[in-house]
Amino acid sequence: QVQLVESGGGLVQAGDSLRLSCVASGQTISSYGMGWFRQTPGKDREFVAAITRDAGLMDYANSVKGRFTFSRDNSKNTVYLQMNSLKFEDTAVYYCAASLKYGNVRYPSNYDYWGQGTQVTVSS
């Protein structure tokens, strides 16, 4: 098993930046595909960004391309989501997830472990 803990959320104004962190324990993140998702009350969990387990390829949702950057630091067993030019529509609880599967990284059902989430609120 792997345990995931997100941090870095907060309240910002449109146009500002935040960096989210996800620290993993129990297993090394190199053994997993890693992803970021977000969810607003009343809506389904939405794919944001991910790195595949097998090929190590990055993937981003169209809504965040050019603004968000996914990265990882294996020495710290941590992945990050750098969020720039934040919009009101980015407001959500952001979740880190780990996958042992080789399925499509955009689907929440393909992930095995989830963090508790961190709130990001962007004022307009």
pLDDT in tens, 11-39: 999 999 999 999 999 999 888 999 999 99
**Each residue of 34-76: pLDDT tens digit?**
999 999 999 999 999 998 887 778 999 999 999 999 999 999 9
> What is residue 30's predicted lDDT score, i.e. its pLDDT?
87
Is residue 56 within 8 A of residue 50, CB to CB? The reply is no
Strands 10-13 and 118-123: parallel
User: What distance in Å separates the CA atoms of residue 103 and residue 27, rounded to the nearest whole number?
Assistant: 20
Check residue 6 and give its pLDDT: 98
Following DSSP, what letter does each residue of 65-84 receive, concatenated? TTTEEEEEETTTTEEEEEE-
- What pLDDT, in 10s, does the model give residues 73-110? 999 999 999 999 999 999 999 999 999 888 889 999 99
